[in-house]
Structure 1
Amino acid sequence: MKFTKKYIGIITAIIGLVLFSACEDEVDLRIPYPNDITFNELTLDRFSYKIPTAPFTSGDNKSGVITVNVAGTGNNYSGFALSNKNFRSYPWDLSPTFAPAGGLTPTEVQESINTTAFSVYTPIGAVNRTENYLVGKTTGDAAYFTLAEPGTVEHLLVANTSYNYLLASYGSILSDDLDPVTQSYLIDGDVTDNPGIENPDVARYGVFTLPGIDGTLNTIRLAGTELLAKYEVGDPIGKEAGISAGEEARSVFIASNPDSTLEEQQAVYDAAYKDAYDAAFEAATDTIHKGYVKLTIEGSLNGSSTGSVDVYLALRSEVDTAYPDFNFILNDWKKVDLTSLGTVDKVLFKMSSDYVDDQGKMVYPSMFCLDGIRLQ
């Protein structure tokens, strides 16, 4: 049987396609799709949360298996809870504008707070895409997971709770008027929109509140912590410089203008006072930079540390000297590479901040969200 060049070419092409297809199938077999530990196999009602009463496992023989720690019960737990809530706004029933008649019981207040404490904060306009996730509470070094077999954690996802995002962004009170001395919005200020809601109705404007972990409305926004620190240092120095400069300027003015009025003399004093105050204040506070919330992730193997990785959940400019222009409050999931920790059998999470109370305890909740753990 004779084959022309045309038919030989067709046969060759067909054989090539068959071989190429076989190679593709082989590649598919040799490159497995990554399997992350997502906690979605754990049973949880939609838009709810639960605090387990004992450590629990997640994963399978493809993704690997981890044991997630939890200690304590109820709101006094530490370690990890399970949630799929995605509430971004101040609780409506804690608002003095929209509070229910008769008020709320302490239990109801706490449950309203929990609508934010057990919610992940993600961009407005999109429902959280990760379904179930963990809510870590890092008190007492209880927020950790262990690996069934030692291995490398390639990466994981972290995010802010809505509780921390709202407190760090606005504070325990949100209105349209900010007190520059206390850096707190005024409880009797003008109404504003409830953040985290698209296309808000003006009829739903109000004053909103969210108690801090001490139960009060004294928690302020992260930006205000830096301003208060500067004010504490710079104000007395600025006043001293301002008074001295004002008095001198007024004396010189009076000597040159003996017929000047008291109003003219005071105007000269005020101008000199302001210039001297501003210059002294700036010089005294030029190196004061505050405002961060940081998550530290530590690895260990057989009880020995393998290293740590720091992740900022909120950061003011000039605080991190390596990235002085960074100024943000994390508002979505962030992937964190943990390969530098090497082989581990335990991963521990801690939180820190430079906004602390008189006992050095974080003012913001020591809570964060965790998901998407990929083991190598």
Structure 2
Amino acid sequence: MKKIIYILFLGMIVIFTACEDDYDKLIKEPDDITLNELQLKKFTHVIPEGGFKSGGVTFNTKKNSDGTFSGFAYSRRSNRSLTWSGTDAALDSNRFSVYTPRPNQTEVYAVACVKDDDVYFTLDRAAVVEHVLVANTTYAYFAMNYGKDTGPTPIANPNIPSAPKGIWQTYAPGVERALNLNNDYFKLIINGFLNNQPTGTVEFYLCCRKGADPANPTFSFLRSDWIKADLQNLGTVDKVVFKVECSYQDGSGKSLIPAWFCLDGIRIRK
């Protein structure tokens, strides 16, 4: 009896394994653009000269005379804590970090600083971009979540429970309040082009408070992890341009929330 059960058990394993092999042949892992072939040490970032390439996608980068940049950099930073100072060196740890609940696991990813139309990527061959992964930078997340600072009650530095309690500054210029009022939002406006002709537009919220999204007026959230942004409605494209729009603006209509976001996992329809 035991021998019969053993034979039946082996037979089930063989059948199951055969089914798994067939399944693997039918469904392949997608060839997403992940930027991971760009060699980068942990806790570092690069602002390249004239852009960079991953797979069949070229990312635009424009360095400015004042030392700033627009377009894309790439990073492997994963800081999720407020800084002890407002120096550029300290703030870069947040500007070039993706905000996720745990240390980021996607290795290298792109970081966008949005100015005008300088934030875009192009495709070697026109195709439908099924989706991209987007997320807030730690810098923008803290500005939206806390505003100017974490006051009035002293707290431990987020993600560093052992830190002395205090009121921590976000060092976001002009920011006085959090994005926590009705109709507050921070969103990406993503435009597709083919042969320099527009193909469509997709809007995607990285922060959305009640009443901000006409299609979903009850929604209220602040993205705190990677999320898929569906771009299929752009159609066939050879260029994708990113803009940022925010409800919290200065007197000239410029977003007070830092116009930064993170990008990874581009999936192109084969």
After TM superposition, the score normalised by the length of structure 1 is 0.64
Q: Is the 8 A contact 2:74 2:111 kept in 1?
A: yes
Larger Rg: 1
Which residue in 1 is equivalent to 2:82? 90
In structure 2, distance between residues paired with 1:56 and 1:292: 30
Say whether 1:360 aligns with 2:237.
no
Q: Aligned equivalents of 2:94 and 2:159: distance in 1?
A: 14
Equivalences for 1:261-272 in 2 at 5 Å? none
1:93 and 1:34, CA in 2 relative to 1: closer, same or farther beyond 3 A? same
Aligned counterpart in structure 2 of residue 191 of structure 1, from 134, 151, 154: 154
In 2, are the aligned partners of 1:90 and 1:208 still within 8 Å (CA)? Answer: yes
SS at match of 1:222: coil
* 1:326-375 deviations in Å (ceiling 9; x for gaps): 11111000011111111110111110011111111111111100000011
Q: After the TM superposition, which residues 1-376 of structure 1 pair with which residues of structure 2 at under 5 Å, given as runs?
A: 25=21, 28-59=24-55, 65-73=56-64, 75-94=67-86, 109-123=87-101, 126-176=102-152, 190-194=153-157, 196-197=158-159, 200-201=161-162, 204-213=164-173, 218-223=175-180, 226=181, 289-376=182-269
Any stretches of 5+ residues in structure 1 without a counterpart? 1-9, 60-64, 95-108, 177-189, 227-288
Q: Distance in 1 between matches of 2:210 and 2:67?
A: 33
The offset of 1:75, in angstroms, is 5.0
Deviation at 1:69, TM superposition (A): 0.6
The question of whether the paired residues in 2 share the 8 Å contact of 1:78 and 1:138 is answered with yes
Measured at CA, do residues 141 and 29 of structure 1 come closer, stay the same or move farther in structure 2, by a change above 3 Å?
same
Structure-2 residue corresponding to 1:267: none
| Partner SS, residue 89 of structure 2 | helix
Q: Please give the secondary structure, in 1, of the residue aligned with 2:116.
A: helix
Residues 59-94 of structure 1: CA distance to partner in whole angstroms, max 9, x if unpaired? 1xxxxx111110115851110000111111110245
Unaligned ranges ≥5, structure 2: 1-6
d(CA) in 2 for partners of 1:204, 1:56? 41
Contact 1:145–1:347 (Cα < 8 Å) also in 2? yes
Post-superposition CA distance 1:74-131 (Å, at most 9, x none): 851110000111111110245xxxxxxxxxxxxxx111111111110001xx211111
What residue identity is the alignment partner of 1:329?
A: L
Aligned residues: 260
* TM-score of the aligned structures, taking structure 2 as reference length: 0.88
Distance 1:118 1:26, change over 3 A: same
Please list the CA deviations of residues 200-235 of structure 1 after superposition, one character each: whole Å capped at 9, or x if unmatched: 23x61012112224xx6x432112xx4xxxxxxxxx
Larger proportion of helix:
1
Q: Residue 186 of structure 2 contacts residue 245 of structure 2 at CA under 8 Å; is this kept in 1?
A: yes
Question: Deviations for 1:26-65, whole angstroms, at most 9, x for unmatched residues?
Answer: 6544433211110010011111111111121101xxxxx1
Q: CA offsets, 1:152-172, max 9 Å, x none?
A: 111110000011110111112
- Call closer, same or farther: CA 1:299–1:205 in 2, change over 3 Å: same
CA contact (8 A) 1:113 1:210 kept: no
- Percent identical pairs in the alignment equals 43
Other structure's SS at 1:111 match: helix
Equivalent residue letter for 1:52 = P
Amino acid at match of 1:206: G
Given that 1:219 and 1:363 are in contact with CA atoms closer than 8 Å, whether structure 2 keeps it comes out as no
User: What's the secondary structure of 2:166's corresponding residue?
Assistant: coil
* 1:252-272 superposed Cα distances (whole Å, 9 cap, x missing partner): xxxxxxxxxxxxxxxxxxxxx
Letter in 2 for 1:69: N
The one-letter amino acid of 1:296's match is: I
Instruction: State whether residues 153 and 374 of structure 1, in contact with CA within 8 Å, keep that contact through their aligned partners in structure 2.
Output: yes
Q: Residue deviations 1:138-157, cap 9 Å, x none?
A: 20211110000011111110
Quickly say closer, same or farther: Cα 1:20–1:128, change in 2 above 3 A. closer
The RMSD of aligned alpha carbons is 2.5
SS of 1:204's equivalent?
coil
How far residue 308 of structure 1 moved from its aligned partner, in angstroms, is 1.1
C-alpha contact 2:146 2:170 (8 A) present in aligned 1: no
